[in-house]
Structure 1
Amino acid sequence: MNDFYIEEKVTLKKLSEIIKINEIEFVRKTFLKGISLKKNEILNFETAKTLCKDLFNINILKKNSFEFETKLFNNNFYISIIGNVNSGKTTLLDFIFKTNISSKEFGKITQFVTVFELLFYNKKIFFFDLPGHKLFNKIIKTYVNISTIIFLIVSIDNDINKEYENIINIIEKNDINLIICINKIDKKTIEKIYLKNLKTFKISSKNGYGVKNLICQSLESFKFFKDFNNLYDGIIVNSYIKNGIFYTTLFLFKNTLKKNDFIYFSNEKIQLKNLYVHNTEKDKIISPCIFKTKSIIFPPDFFFGKNKNTLNKNSNNIYKENYFHFNNYYVKSSNHTIALSILDYYQSLKSNDKIKMSVSLGDFNETDLNYCINFKCKIILISLNLNYSILKKINENNLFYKKFNLISDLIDYFVSLYKLDKIELITSKIIVKNTFPCGKNKKIAGCCVYEGCLNLNNTIKIFKELKLVFQGKINSIRIKEKIVDKVEAGNECGILIKNFNDIEIGMKIISINYVNK
């Protein structure tokens, strides 16, 4: 018998959708029981639970039915949530903590680290919600290395068997306790999944199916074996600007901190003039603890320590001096995760002689402006807004200025402008002339190739009214029921696209190859 989760109150129509019963059938069966209901009728939890049990033998649970213990135990668990973009990582934590972060993320993409804390069956657990985009690989690897358990979220929309080899590689390269979470099972029924020697759970981050069982069994399965606390005292989690004030969230692994204490990074020390826990100012905090500071600008670095010598001994000195060289581009962001990832990208370029870049945190102020004027820097802002007076001075001094909301857009800008690493080569241009159903929830795009040659192995970009709506791969190409590998200009064909079913007549498609410079 399946379990379904609902809120305290739900409409009959919504309840029918959740339990996958036709609403007309639901109304008919209740009528035969002598109960008259309308599809927009609001049902409380107990009524919905009784009706579903009596009429359809379906078990209904409250969506907020987690019962967390409040007694603190000695052992702490650190769980990193990893997975591809749109796999449902943030939605899972939204369900557990009753938040709504996923709906507020720009472009529905996680671009910063968030840490959550809870007490669950006498265990204190810290969850790290990590970005999914490959541009954040260094961020992800850092948190994986300090975590007790890793939840790898895999969407049911993906080919699970093809993911298996990648998962094995992750385990072999990292000494980690990995649990595979097959997510979005509320969307469709799947056969039993068996991944050899891997712990696998089927869950739905949307309605909460299997989530409590996942957490309980995870904590019972593994012992707390990571001993990273002897290396560092803490890590910067994220940063942001709110109402004109710059906030930074930090995570203290060990030791205690007092107001006005200094903490040490790779190349500088910062004084903690204020400490906030749950928005309450504190004079002292004890580890493990998530805390915030305000109006303090930290360097784009990962770890910090109370003792300067200890930190320097264990620091990897990831960022060399020349990466802070102010020449050409002056990049500023309020997001600590984005700043680190840009530095990592800049460092990883095979040839960066065309770009000199400085990356810093905080709001763009008069000091930043004066520096850019003196050194003729090009200004790049990520998720920041300029006030009118500074924008006016930028225009008066003829300074280059550009703003981005997504780090991927900034990287694409640099790649396209400077042809970094690889060149994107357009191999064909296509227009969608018709669409045809193909199996459950799939569509074939009836297309005409009007320029170049389309190849099955090409990456494709799909545009709707000049806006990019999808980039991915082709599943298959057919010409008059015959499967082919390529289509020359002037021919029509049917294209089945991987992981994209919202194809529409009139959309334009280009196929591309990436070639080395």
Structure 2
Amino acid sequence: MASTKPRIYDLARIATRTEDDEKERKQKQSDLTKQIIAICNQLGYPDKTSSSSIDEDLMPKLISSLNEAEGLDLDLDGVNKELQVKKTTKKSVKTQEEAQEKQEIKPKQKLRVVRRIKPSELTQDLALLPPIQEKPGVHTSQQVKPSPPPQIQQKPIQPVVQKPVEEPPKEKQEIPQVAKKKQQGGKPRISVPLQPFRVAKPTMVPSMMGRTKRPSSRRGSQEREKEKKKIEITTVIDKPGIVTITSSLTVKELADILLLPETEVVKKLFEKGTIRTVNQTVDFDIAVELARSLEYEVITEEEKEETKLRADISKEAEEDLLPRPPVVTIMGHVDHGKTSLLDAIRETKLKITDQEKGGITQHIGAYQVEVLDYDNKKRKITFLDTPGHEAFTAMRARGAHVTDIAILVVAADDGVMPQTKEAIDHAKSAAVPIIIALNKIDKPEAQPDRVLGQLAEHDLLIEDYGGKTVCSKISAKKRENLDDLLTKITLVADAELGNTLRANPNALASGVVLEAELSKERGPLTHILVHNGTLKKGDCIVAGAVAGRIRAMFNDHGEEIGEAPPSAPVEVLGLSSTPKAGDTFQVYSSYQEVKNIAEERQQKVKEGKKTFGLVDVSSKIREGKMHELKIIIKADVYGSAEAVAKEILKLRTDEVVVNPIHVGSGNISESDVDLAASSGAIIIGFHVGAESNALREAGELGVDIRTYDIIYKITEDLEKALLGMLEPEREEVKLGKAEVRQVFTFGKGNKIAGSYVIEGKIQRNQIAKVIRNGNVIFEGRIDNLKRFKDDAREVQTNFECGISFNSYNDVEEGDIIECWTIIEKQRTSLT
């Protein structure tokens, strides 16, 4: 049964009830909550969080300590009276009978939320750890394994008002790549690892980190230069820096970025199955993967723009910033109940799940709902629903990077699955709080303890087990315990995010593109999420490399609106074409300005076109070593077309290559058919149809158009088509063998092997292997096969025959002649 004891945040709320300003009250309430937790530690009650209950014997001690430390005038009777009033107010929402029935049916779960540790605080604690002993001959990255951060010791409580925590001064020493960035005028970014990294020996001082004492011994300049290079390379490997990769680049350019020799980059690429020379181009995805495998922090163009958006908000004046609704992303594995959870939260008659083929979300949906928080106040929350199918990895990653809180939906009857692990990685990479929604808890086959144990293996230990991860056990289908989940979302938003959920509603709007599609009736439609400012009808906007003026806006209910505040998801009309999902948008004061910016970005896109594999693939196709299947992909939204292309590219092998020559959104048009006819491609439509003119032209030109609603069917059909392009498998089958018992000579010294078939059969024109003393001395075709003086097609076991070869004339008595044939089999797999 749920506990009726008061919680720590209740006591903090009562202590700050006299504050008139709402903003100052919340700030003081948050500070006082931390103060109470620290007092609990002093009084011998460790591991308390803001949602922990307060025992009867602890309450008087807390009130006394608070009055002394903060100069408050709290009394036990007054606090109990306030708590009783709050309890009565909550019960008045429903009848006493309904509240009692709900309490008996579904007890509330205990809630504990812990404040996140800032990187600056973590750095100070890491400095206190003993250095890691390095094993000789083993690289640091192989020895050091991530471990939980050290426990932070609580300082004694002083009887004064708690002051804001100041950031510790930055270290003077910097790694070479950071120092280099400072010389170029750029602002360095340092990632704080969870484990201390190995530091070079005192005698090995990296460059740009102070003066190096000249060695006393007189050594040659070449020897000193070699040692210097070794030191610099060691430093780079110990703690790789931050690199920015925005497009495809050559091996030489990649080597310069990674501070590695060009030969080393070529070697690393070869180890990953990619053969490149110094001047050849490396694909963007492969370059990013290689950099991350070397423990570099990689910033892509999208992440760069997102970082800029957040930086713009931090530049706003403090008095202009107001609270905004949190953006919550719902993530998880296929069919674990993400969309059903959204449907249950919205409580709409039109089921979202029914709109998705196969019950699988195909692209991001964004919705805003109004809920009651832990103080019974109305709050708005923006929800993002991300696809769970493995093909939509890029879309899930975008969802994680535009969110404030991640809801990880895990089915209690299924457990941790591949996309669950990927969602955890995305959320951790985005550094956002994770709330576990343990769904399908009502099923008889549900095993919540087993699933929670699996999550603990991924560093998600819930509060009931002594961890810090918030968890809510729900049933989206039966709509059980949803209020508990919504309350915990608002509590985590206030306790962990604090003042970060703020924006300036009076600024020019900026945000991110969630999706874009080309509608036949209304033209380009763009689904966006406002980060900062207020987007208004008539604003001049640039999204990625596309410019336009807002002609109309619609909210998540399809209603036309005039403006969209921060954290609002909206659909806009007015852009000249469809931008890419993940592009950032910004409003400017004039249309000419956004037009110039869009043209400049379009030029960069043209210059950065991917050329990965063009030389190698083209040469192999010309030589007949590789077959090519060209494809044109059209989908309802660009993100889905991008996901289909990525899934199709996985079908590529050493013998056949799938080449998406065009990827776009909107219905299949005549221009698509013309392109397919001229290039010999087939057209794949995903959630789109073909225009009547396009169908007629395709019939005349013999262009193959295929449309699908589920991505599985696309890969299945293409795999069958690719199998037909592959050379059949050739398998050698042994037919029989004969022993040479006498050698006859006829004509001009030609020899005939008088043989006896001891196994199987011997056939003319099949492959023969002549074996002598266990070694194959000849392999060729049986040109002549006789049975006595007559030619024979084949000779069976226990019969004599004569065998001769046109290209071999050195058979001897005792030789074994094996007869083989080659059988061709249709390939059943691309691998």
What TM-score do the two structures reach when normalised by structure 2?
0.38
Contact 1:266 1:301 in 2 (8 A): no
Contact 2:390 2:419 in 1 (8 A): no
Verify: 1:180 aligned to 2:431, yes or no: no
Match of 1:117 among 362, 368, 386: 368
Contact 2:333 2:418 in 1 (8 A): no
Where does residue 411 of structure 1 map in the other structure? 715
Match of 1:357 among 661, 673, 684: 661
Where does residue 497 of structure 2 map in the other structure? 223
Where does residue 82 of structure 1 map in the other structure? 331
Judging changes above 3 Å, is the alpha-carbon distance between structure 1 residues 249 and 164 closer, same or farther for their aligned structure 2 residues? closer
What TM-score do the two structures reach when normalised by structure 1?
0.59
CA distance in structure 2 between the aligned counterparts of 1:159 and 1:130, rounded to whole angstroms: 19
Larger CA deviation: 381-390 vs 345-354: 345-354
CA distance in structure 1 between the aligned counterparts of 2:486 and 2:562, rounded to whole angstroms: 34
Deviation at 1:256, TM superposition (A): 3.8
Larger CA deviation: 276-285 vs 390-399: 276-285
Contact 1:323 1:343 in 2 (8 A): no
Query: Deviation per CA, 1:408-444, whole angstroms, max 9, x where unpaired?
Result: 3323444443469x9xx9xxxxxxxxxxxxxxxxxxx
Deviation at 1:210, TM superposition (A): 1.7
Where does residue 690 of structure 2 map in the other structure? 386
Deviation at 1:387, TM superposition (A): 4.1
CA distance in structure 2 between the aligned counterparts of 1:381 and 1:322, rounded to whole angstroms: 23
Contact 1:300 1:360 in 2 (8 A): no
Q: Number of aligned pairs?
A: 369
Judging changes above 3 Å, is the alpha-carbon distance between structure 1 residues 282 and 202 closer, same or farther for their aligned structure 2 residues? closer
CA distance in structure 2 between the aligned counterparts of 1:105 and 1:173, rounded to whole angstroms: 29
Match of 2:476 among 190, 205, 222: 205
Judging changes above 3 Å, is the alpha-carbon distance between structure 1 residues 227 and 205 closer, same or farther for their aligned structure 2 residues? same
Where does residue 511 of structure 1 map in the other structure? none
Contact 1:338 1:407 in 2 (8 A): no
Larger CA deviation: 96-105 vs 296-305: 296-305
Counterpart of 1:84, as a letter, is H
Larger CA deviation: 381-390 vs 76-85: 381-390
Counterpart of 2:633, as a letter, is V
Q: Secondary structure at the match of 1:328?
A: strand
Q: Which runs of 5+ in 1 are unaligned?
A: 3-45, 61-72, 426-513
CA distance in structure 2 between the aligned counterparts of 1:336 and 1:157, rounded to whole angstroms: 34
CA distance in structure 2 between the aligned counterparts of 1:260 and 1:181, rounded to whole angstroms: 41
Verify: 1:338 aligned to 2:640, yes or no: yes
Where does residue 248 of structure 1 map in the other structure? 526
Verify: 1:101 aligned to 2:352, yes or no: yes
Contact 1:263 1:304 in 2 (8 A): no
Where does residue 541 of structure 2 map in the other structure? 263
Counterpart of 2:391, as a letter, is L
Deviation at 1:289, TM superposition (A): 2.7
Query: Deviation per CA, 1:125-177, whole angstroms, max 9, x where unpaired?
Result: 11001100111111101111221111111111114699998787566544221
Judging changes above 3 Å, is the alpha-carbon distance between structure 1 residues 322 and 87 closer, same or farther for their aligned structure 2 residues? same
- Kindly report the root-mean-square deviation, in angstroms, between the aligned alpha carbons of the 2 structures: 4.8
Higher helix share: 2
Verify: 1:303 aligned to 2:554, yes or no: no
Judging changes above 3 Å, is the alpha-carbon distance between structure 1 residues 182 and 237 closer, same or farther for their aligned structure 2 residues? same
Deviation at 1:279, TM superposition (A): 3.8
CA distance in structure 1 between the aligned counterparts of 2:721 and 2:829, rounded to whole angstroms: 16
Where does residue 409 of structure 2 map in the other structure? 153
Q: Secondary structure at the match of 2:367?
A: strand
* 1:367-446 superposed matches below 5 A: 367-418=671-722
* 1:427-506 superposed matches below 5 A: none
Match of 1:290 among 561, 569, 573: 569
Q: Secondary structure at the match of 2:323?
A: coil
Contact 1:112 1:130 in 2 (8 A): yes
Verify: 1:238 aligned to 2:515, yes or no: yes
Contact 1:301 1:340 in 2 (8 A): no
Judging changes above 3 Å, is the alpha-carbon distance between structure 1 residues 234 and 161 closer, same or farther for their aligned structure 2 residues? closer
Where does residue 21 of structure 1 map in the other structure? none
Counterpart of 2:471, as a letter, is T
Judging changes above 3 Å, is the alpha-carbon distance between structure 1 residues 323 and 78 closer, same or farther for their aligned structure 2 residues? farther
CA distance in structure 1 between the aligned counterparts of 2:475 and 2:541, rounded to whole angstroms: 41
Contact 1:333 1:360 in 2 (8 A): yes
CA distance in structure 2 between the aligned counterparts of 1:302 and 1:162, rounded to whole angstroms: 23
Deviation at 1:263, TM superposition (A): 3.0
Deviation at 1:318, TM superposition (A): 12
Q: Secondary structure at the match of 2:683?
A: strand
Verify: 1:321 aligned to 2:572, yes or no: no
Contact 2:550 2:573 in 1 (8 A): no
Match of 2:383 among 122, 127, 132: 127
Judging changes above 3 Å, is the alpha-carbon distance between structure 1 residues 396 and 347 closer, same or farther for their aligned structure 2 residues? closer
Contact 2:648 2:715 in 1 (8 A): no
Aligned-residue sequence identity (percent) comes to 19
Counterpart of 1:304, as a letter, is T
Verify: 1:92 aligned to 2:341, yes or no: yes
Contact 2:528 2:571 in 1 (8 A): yes
CA distance in structure 2 between the aligned counterparts of 1:364 and 1:206, rounded to whole angstroms: 38
Deviation at 1:366, TM superposition (A): 3.7
CA distance in structure 2 between the aligned counterparts of 1:167 and 1:397, rounded to whole angstroms: 45
Query: Deviation per CA, 1:377-413, whole angstroms, max 9, x where unpaired?
Result: 4221111122444312210111121111122332344
CA distance in structure 1 between the aligned counterparts of 2:352 and 2:434, rounded to whole angstroms: 25
Higher relative contact order (CA 8 A, sep 6+): 1
Q: Secondary structure at the match of 1:358?
A: strand
Where does residue 137 of structure 1 map in the other structure? 393
Larger CA deviation: 102-111 vs 363-372: 363-372
Deviation at 1:515, TM superposition (A): 8.4
